[in-house]
Every structure is written in structure tokens, then in C-alpha cells.
Structure 1
């Protein structure tokens, strides 16, 4: 795709928006996962705190006892990452050493020689927050405050259960290791889906391009009405433009024909007058005849230019091989034509992007010029190669010098020694360029002039 392609720009914009959306989704999912992980961890810690609170008791000497500790092995390994502690007479600040006015705290073996604080009292029960861990880490902790009967009174206790956040970080890392590839795969899938969507959405424009190419090639006269509603106004405007252009071109052709008809009659009168006065004033008659013929050639070329300028969007295409056969057949019947060897090889699929009359005049002018100069041989070859059509005409005549070839210009005779020489080539060149073709001159390997006409072949 080219840099200015609408499909490329839409695809890049869609890919960028998809990437941005997935990044935001990844951040949001990570935040949600963190909150859910904290909530689930806090819920598990609270269940353990309730289990401990339901079993804790006061001995006759006032010390705290726990008949059965929670079974998790991390409670028994030093700094195992899971801790619990039961305190009496807890204040708002907690006691990092675990000692209280009412006696020593009861704690898990995983705390080893360290104490566990309590989460500051909040309106929420249980209180959830972060505490400093015994090995310098950060803990997520749950503190549940309860009262138990003791010697006819109630003793206030604070049961705290905590877990090291480094264990949660491992769960978070595992989640991210799964999330990032998943989002990457989702990005690829959504980008491909969006690419297909953009391609499908732009399909009417590809169809429109193909239909316009068919109009250029001359195989279609108008655009069809089977386009989506959003494209129909554009199609309708193009059809109106085609119709208006066709009307304008028809008027131009009619005007050129009228002008030619109006000029040919006076030129014929001048030619008749020249012949009538030839006996009495031969020099004057020759001058009048020469000027009348020059004006006639200019009229013919003006008509050719008018036809060449009538291409526009809607072009016609005609096969080259049949027209070439007719022109060569006619030239063979002319003087010097029968004695020449004509080598014709034109591909059947070769089609000229113009009217059959224009092609006939191009071939007629160029091949008639070759007939006049050739010694024994004329060669014509036509092919389609690399998206371009080539039509080459060569003869074995004296040819033209490099300076003469470089000096060929439209409307200028390249050989002043022969009256009229060069106008046929000029007309052929005008018609070819009007049809979108390029004409190049060179020296043939046969020794004479080589004329090559090239034009692009529309995509099928």
C-alpha cells in the first residue's frame, strides 16, 4: 500500500486506537485484579482470625491460650509469610513488640522473636490495612476485635492475621505473564479483524475504480447504480459528468466537421482556378495550387487534432490486428506495395485505446510512409508486456539520421525536399497522443526508420 492510501491510514488509526484501548484495559484489569486479590486475601485472613477468636481463652492466671493453632504450615516456619497474634488491652497505635499491659501477646511461631502490630481501629469491622513485617517486608493485615468472658467480666482482645505482600506480588506477576500475551494476541486478532472490516468497507471504491477503468478502456459507457447509498451521489455526479462530456465532444466534432466542410469548398475552388489559369500564368497557377494543397493538409491535421482531443474519460478500444490487416491489404495494392515483403505479427489481445478510424489513420500514415521509403521489407510487431502495449513499425529504407530524429516536431516537416513529407507522421502522432499513447522514433536494425507506439493496458 502506498503512503497516502486511505486503507493504510485507516488501518494505522484503527491499530493505534486498538493498542490504546488494550493498554487502558490492561491497566484497568491490573487494578481490578489487585483489588480483588486484596479483597480475597483479606477475606481469607478474616476467616482465620474468626477461627482463632473462637478458640482463644484465658487461663486462671490470666494468660492467653489457644488449644489448636491454624493448620497452615507457614504459621510454623520462621518468617514464613503468614502470621497471627492475639493481644489484650489494645490501643490505637498497636505495639510492635506484642507486649500489653495485661500480659504477653499470643502469637504464631512464624513471628519468631518479633511482634505484630494491629491495624488501627476503623468504623469497618474487621479493620484491614498494611503493617510492617518481621523481616522488613509489608504485610496485608486483618484485625478483628472481640470480647471473651473472664472471671465474671469481659476481656477485650484484638486478633490480627497478616500475610506477606511478596506472596501476592508473585500472584500478580503470574497474572501479568498471562495478561500481556493475551492482550497481544487480542491486539493481533482485532487488528486483522479491523483490516478485513476496512477492506470490506472500501470495497465499493475498488469496484468504482474498476468500473472507471472499464470506461477508460471503452468496455463500459456508464457507471452502474448498484453501489451503496453512501456512494451513489458520487456515482450519479460522475455519470452526469460523462453525459455532459459526451455531449460537448459531439458538439466539438460537429463543429470541426462543419469548419472542414466550409474550408474544403473554397480550397477546391482555388484548386480549380489554378488549373484554369495554368496555360496563361503557369507560375501563378503553381503557386496557388501549392498553397491550396498546404491549406488542405492543415485542415486535415486540424480535424485529426479535433478527433485526438475527444478522448476524455470515456474511451473506446478497438483491436489492432484486424485494422492492421485492412491497412496492409490496401497498401499492397498501391504502387511499390506489391513488391515489398510485409511481415505482420500482432497479438490478438492488443487493443488500441481509441476509435477505429483514428487507429486506421495512424497505421495508414505510418505504413504509407514506410512503403514510400522501404527497399524490400516492412516489419510490424505488436505485443502486450508488463502492463503496456507495444506496436513497432520498421522498414529497411534509408532511415533518418540521429539529428533528424531528434528534430522531429509536431507540425514541422522533417524532409523539406519532398512536398508534404512529415504531415502524415505529425497527424499520426497527434492521434496517438490524444489516445494516451506515446510515439518514439529511432533507427531500425533493418536499416530504416523505427516507429514505436506505446500505451498502458487497463487492469482487468
Structure 2
């Protein structure tokens, strides 16, 4: 999941960049600190060299006693000096019997170099040459480089906790920056969800500049989809209307054949024409389904009452006991005409098979609205019940009755993004419709 998350990829790449930058900064600061410490050490060694120059006495005739300094009295202390005037070579007690190599410098020259110490350690050495009378006075002062290394390590030890704290703060700031920067994408997701829920018609243009091209492409896609759906419905409607007149003429011809005594041929023509007419009626109904009306809402109680009032006027409907429970105040996200047509087909089917009672129950659930229609008839054979539950099955091909009505109901419920379920209630058939609730 994290590998596919744009937010985590940006945060992790930012964290890697920050840590790399802080690591390079630590190395750079350590190098600069080391150079600074070395410059300070060279300056200190140069000052000590000038102190040793005071050993020259009698205008350069001889060397006197060296200045007292405990650093140079302890053997192998890491602090050494060595001077030479003519053939007179003096060394600090710390060198013991070790002699440092000295370069042939011209008077006034200074050389900073790294030498090997009496125990093989690396020494930072400053060598100077002075003109004293007719002789050259050479001074070499050295210190162990390990002290410089320890100073650098101590500096890094003090620096790393602060760098770690700074890195953590920068990573948090980077995460906050990424979250704020990606917030418009969450807004896009919210608007797409609103489109799906029917709360918006289009994405709109009041979005950040970087996101507007995406929103425009989505709106263009929605426009093209709406146009194509409208054309498809119009073509289906035109085709169905085009068939109605020839089919009506066929039924008229069947009547003429019957008048002439050709009943078998008339029955065959009427059967074929009636079957085709049912198909045409179904396509007309499907063309009217509001599959793209995301903001439509229907009053469930009003739709149920309207259908029952019509069915009460039929010969059998007046003798049936109609029961309606829980429908008041419920709003479903479906076109009112579509809901009325679906309820009409289902209640007419229930009326046809009921013995004396049809019950309609509507309940609001967390998942939406559940409509249940139950009759007290014989129910449906298990094999046929399974076929009724198949999505998209054209039961109207078997003849009059529930076939075309249930097929249209399945199309309406599917267009409203709902669910249709059939089961035997013992007695009777129980039809359950699940619809999305309208947005308040």
C-alpha cells in the first residue's frame, strides 16, 4: 500500500534527501572544523617556534638553555621541538633519542608538513629558518595529529544530536508540506465522490491551477458520456417506436385472417407480434429509465400510495387487503417515475398471485432504504426462483405475466445502483429492493 501511495513516496524521498544533505553537511562541517583546528595548531606551533628563537645568545654564537615547558619534558608526550644552529642540534626531552628530519629551508621560509614521530605517530610540524649572523637557525616544532583527530571526533559527537533533531524536524516539516501540497488531490477525490453521490454535476474550475487540467478532462469525459447515453436512449426509443406501427399492422392482419377463417395462421401471427410487442415495450421502458439522474429523489410513501390507488380500482385489487408500513418520510435516490414503474410491476405481480393480502414494508438502514413486498400466494418454484434472481435474464420471452415486468424492474434497480432479491416467504413471494438513500 505504501509503495503505491504518492504521499509516502514523497515523504520517504524527501526524508532520504534531507538525511543525505545533513550527512554531507556533517562531513563538510567536520572537514572545515579540522582545517580550522589545524590552522589554530599551526599558529600555536609558530608562536612556540618564536619562543624557541630566544635560545640564540651572543649574536648567534651559541645556543642557550631552552624555555621551561612541561609539555616538552615528558618522553613521547606528543609535543616536540628541535633546533639547529650550525652543528649544534638541540631536542626536547620528549623526543628522547629520536631525531626529526629537517628540510633545507632558506632563511625566512616556513614549512608546514606531516612527519612520523618517535613512535610512528603522525605529527603536525612547523619548520622555520632564521638568519642569525652568518648562520641559519632552524626551528622545528611538532604536535601529535591524534589530538586534532580527537578534537574533530568530539566536535562530531556534539554536532550529531543536533543534526538528528534538525533532521527529525525537517522530516516532519516535509511530511506536513507534502500533506498540505496534496490536499487539493483529496479535494478532487471528494468531488469525484460527490459526482458519484449525485451532489455535483461537474468537477468545476475552482481548484488549484495544477489540478484544473485533470478536472477539465473529467468534466469533458462526463459531457461525452451524457451525450452518448442520451443518444443511445434516443436511438433505442426511436427504434422501438419504429417497430410499433408495423407490429400493430401485423395484429390487424391477424384479425383479417381470423375473419377469413384462418384461425391457426392468425394465432401464429398474433403470438409472434405480441412477443415482439412486449420486447418493444420493454425497450421503450428501458429508454425512459433515468440511469443518469444522480440528484433525483423519490418519496417512497407517495410512490407506494400512487400504485396501490391504481391497483385498488382493478377487479381483484379491490378485494385485496393492502398493508403499508414504515414508508412515511423516506426518500430514495431514484427517479420518482422509475420507482413508480418498478413498484407498479412488482405490486401488480403480487396482486396477480396473492390470495387475499399484499404487504409493503419500507425501512431505513445504514446501507440505504430497504423495500419489501410480500404476498400470500403460492410462491415460486425453487428452480424458477433462482432464474428470477439472475441479473439481466429476459423472462418476458416466455409470454405474458411477470416476465417483462420483472425484467424492467431489474433494469430500473440496476440503473439506480440498487439490488433486487427474490425469495419464497412461505406462503407467497418476498421481493426485496435495496436503494440508496437521498442526500439530505
Counterpart pick for 1:221 among 196, 201, 205: 201
Unaligned 5+ residue runs, structure 2?
A: none
- Name the counterpart of 1:88: 84
In structure 2, the CA distance between the partners of 1:298 and 1:22, relative to structure 1 (3 Å rule), is same
Using the TM superposition, name which of 267-276 and 219-228 deviates more. 267-276
Using the TM superposition, name which of 365-374 and 268-277 deviates more. 268-277
Counterpart pick for 2:113 among 109, 129, 145: 129
Give 1:425 shift: 2.0
SS of alignment partner, residue 321 of structure 2: coil
Equivalent residues of 1:367, 1:393 under 8 A apart: no
Give 1:339 shift: 0.8
Unaligned 5+ residue runs, structure 1?
A: 90-100
Equivalent residues of 1:86, 1:160 under 8 A apart: yes
Write the deviation string for residues 164-198 of structure 1: whole angstroms up to 9, x where unpaired.
22222222222222333333333333333333333
1:51 is aligned to 2:51: yes
Write the deviation string for residues 336-392 of structure 1: whole angstroms up to 9, x where unpaired.
4851322335885x642x53333333343334434544564635445454xx54635
Equivalent residues of 1:370, 1:378 under 8 A apart: no
Counterpart pick for 2:100 among 117, 130, 135: 117
SS of alignment partner, residue 114 of structure 2: strand
CA distance in 2, matches of 1:424, 1:118: 112
Equivalent residues of 1:119, 1:141 under 8 A apart: no
Write the deviation string for residues 408-434 of structure 1: whole angstroms up to 9, x where unpaired.
342432996x83323222222223333
TM-score w.r.t. length of structure 2: 0.79
Using the TM superposition, name which of 167-176 and 333-342 deviates more. 333-342
1:421 is aligned to 2:421: no
User: What number of residue pairs does the alignment pair up?
Assistant: 427
CA distance in 2, matches of 1:282, 1:169: 117
CA distance in 1, matches of 2:381, 2:109: 107
- Name the counterpart of 1:332: 308
SS of alignment partner, residue 166 of structure 1: helix
Equivalent residues of 1:436, 1:455 under 8 A apart: yes
CA distance in 2, matches of 1:301, 1:121: 113
Counterpart pick for 1:138 among 112, 118, 122: 122
Equivalent residues of 2:105, 2:128 under 8 A apart: no
Equivalent residues of 1:118, 1:158 under 8 A apart: no
CA distance in 2, matches of 1:319, 1:441: 24
Equivalent residues of 1:395, 1:446 under 8 A apart: no
Equivalent residues of 1:380, 1:393 under 8 A apart: yes
In structure 2, the CA distance between the partners of 1:229 and 1:156, relative to structure 1 (3 Å rule), is same
1:102 is aligned to 2:87: yes
CA distance in 2, matches of 1:169, 1:446: 95
Give 1:453 shift: 3.4
Counterpart pick for 1:164 among 118, 141, 144: 144
Give 1:88 shift: 0.8
1:32 is aligned to 2:32: yes
Write the deviation string for residues 209-256 of structure 1: whole angstroms up to 9, x where unpaired.
333333333332233222334443443444344334333333333333
The correspondence of residues 3-402 of structure 1 with structure 2, limited to 5 A, is 3-53=3-53, 55-58=54-57, 62-66=62-66, 68-70=67-69, 74-81=71-78, 83-89=79-85, 102-107=87-92, 109=93, 111=94, 113-115=96-98, 117-118=100-101, 120=103, 125-148=109-132, 153-268=133-248, 270=250, 288-307=269-288, 311=292, 315-320=293-298, 322=299, 324-333=300-309, 334=311, 335-336=316-317, 339-344=321-326, 348=330, 351-352=332-333, 354-373=334-353, 376=357, 378-383=359-364, 385=366, 388-389=367-368, 391-395=370-374, 397=376, 398-400=378-380, 402=382
TM-score w.r.t. length of structure 1: 0.76
If each structure's helix is expressed as a fraction of its own residues, which one has the higher value? 2
- Name the counterpart of 1:430: 411
Using the TM superposition, name which of 124-133 and 269-278 deviates more. 269-278
SS of alignment partner, residue 3 of structure 1: helix
Equivalent residues of 1:327, 1:364 under 8 A apart: no
Give 1:270 shift: 5.0
SS of alignment partner, residue 124 of structure 2: strand
Equivalent residues of 1:413, 1:420 under 8 A apart: no
